[in-house]
């Protein structure tokens, strides 16, 4: 088991920046791929970004490519999402997730979410 807790959400004007954090506890953090997902009101949860266990590879949704940066600090058991040039359509609850790629491609562990609201 791994427990995930997001923080850093809030209200920001369009064009602004926020940095989300995801603190992990439980099992060894560096055995997990980590990801960010988001869910806007009335919409399905969608993929935002993914970082591999070592941090050597990152992947992004087209909608955030060039504006968001995912990173991790395995020594601190923490993952980050730096969000720049925010747009109103980025408004959503943001969730961090973890998966153990040795055993499954499914995102098995989820945080409780943090709200990001971008005003126009």
Rounded mean pLDDT, 35-59: 96
pLDDT at residue 80 tops 90: yes
Residue recorded with tokens 């990001």: 116
The whole-number pLDDT of residue 43 equals 97
Rounded mean pLDDT, 42-68: 97
Provide the strand spans (E) within the chain: 2-7, 10-13, 18-26, 33-39, 46-51, 58-60, 68-73, 78-83, 92-99, 109-110, 114-119
pLDDT digits over 33-45, tens only?
Answer: 999 999 999 999 9
Instruction: Find out whether 5 and 111 touch, Cβ atoms under 8 Å.
Output: yes
Instruction: Find out whether 7 and 59 touch, Cβ atoms under 8 Å.
Output: no
The whole-number pLDDT of residue 92 equals 98
Mean pLDDT, the chain, whole residue set: 96
Split at pLDDT 50, 70, 90, the class of 26 is confident
Residues 28/18/64/36 CA torsion (nearest 10 deg): 20
Split at pLDDT 50, 70, 90, the class of 104 is confident
Rounded mean pLDDT, 19-39: 94
Instruction: Find out whether 96 and 77 touch, Cβ atoms under 8 Å.
Output: no
Residue recorded with tokens 């807790």: 5
């Amino acid at each position: 088991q791994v427990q995930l807790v997001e923080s850093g959400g809030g209200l920001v004007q369009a064009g602004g920046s926020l940095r989300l954090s995801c603190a992990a506890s439980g099992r060894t953090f560096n055995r997990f791929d980590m990801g960010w997902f988001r869910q806007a009101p009335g919409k399905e949860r969608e993929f935002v970004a993914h970082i591999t266990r070592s941090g050597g590879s990152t992947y992004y949704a087209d909608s955030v490519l060039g504006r968001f940066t995912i990173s991790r600090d395995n020594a601190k058991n923490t993952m980050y999402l730096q969000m720049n040039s925010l747009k109103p359509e980025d408004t959503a609850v943001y969730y961090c997730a973890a998966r153990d790629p040795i055993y499954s491609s499914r995102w098995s562990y989820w945080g409780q979410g943090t709200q990001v609201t971008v005003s126009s």
